[in-house]
Amino acid sequence: MKITENVIKLDCTKGSYAYAVIIDEAVTLIDTSLPGRANAIVSELKTYGINLLDIKRILLTHHDIDHIGNAAYFQENCDCEILISRIDYDYVLEHKKRHGIKKVLGAIMKVDIPKSLKQINTDKIDCFSVISTPGHTPGHTCFQYNDVLFAGDLISSKNGNPIMPPSIMNWNKGELIGSLQKLSIENVKYICPAHGEPIMVNNNWSEFIKTISKK
């Protein structure tokens, strides 16, 4: 489903959405969803006239398996670059153990590791703004393209409204709330989370921030 003319929500990744951004015929994927969904992603992209080799870059919001699940496949098959925050970099490469229940999930659900992974060390990657939003993971990152904010697991959505992700999945609740409070959405029209449908920014955002600030 198209969110804007250049931004596609990949419906085949429902449950942990990945998104595609088309800029000058080159495609950037925001996250890659759960392992085993690569062929479905390729098939869906073809319906928009996008071929596998059009994918030039993957931006990972964080290290969770349902976000990095197909990154290695795409790198092997289209030689795209893959970028993630400096802090979450070590978790993808398994130099550090994931926290809490994610340690168990990581043992159960194996994922191929990309052979080449780059650390993000700037607040701008071409047309994308890089926004540090720790809390769900230590190095969670949001990306903004024009008026679209790719929120990863910073928030989820339900019935068109933002909601907090499940506490059991968060590294640090205080850090997460702090990231939400600091987040500027002045120029954002659409927020695209991994879990739940994209939402349009309106008064529900300010009410959401007020609510979580009291917790």
Report pLDDT digits (tens) over 13-63. Answer: 999 999 999 999 899 999 999 999 999 999 999 999 999 999 999 999 999
pLDDT of residue 35: 96
CA torsion through residues 12, 53, 191, 112, sign = positive
- What would the pLDDT profile of 49-98 be if each residue is shown by its tens digit? 999 999 999 999 999 999 999 999 999 999 999 999 999 999 999 888 88
Neighbours of 165 (CB within 10 A): 21
Strand order in the sheet with 7-9: 7-9, 19-23, 26-30, 55-59, 81-85, 118-120
Q: 16 and 194 in contact (C-beta within 8 Å)?
A: yes
Binned at pLDDT 50, 70 and 90, residue 202 comes out as: confident
pLDDT over 70 at 172, yes or no: yes
pLDDT of residue 100: 78
φ, ψ (nearest 5 deg) of residue 59: -105, 120
Mean pLDDT for 187-197 is 97
Could you report the per-residue pLDDT of 108-154, keeping only the tens digit for each? 778 999 999 999 999 999 999 999 999 999 999 999 999 999 999 99
All domains in the chain, ordered by first residue: 7-213 (3.60.15.10)
State mean pLDDT over 171-176: 96
Q: Return d(Cα 201, Cα 32) in angstroms, integer.
A: 24
C-beta separation of 154 from 135 below 8 A: yes
Q: What is the pTM of this model?
A: 0.96
How far does Cα 22 stand from its chain's mean position? 16
What is the tens place of the pLDDT at every residue in 154-171?
A: 999 999 999 999 999 999
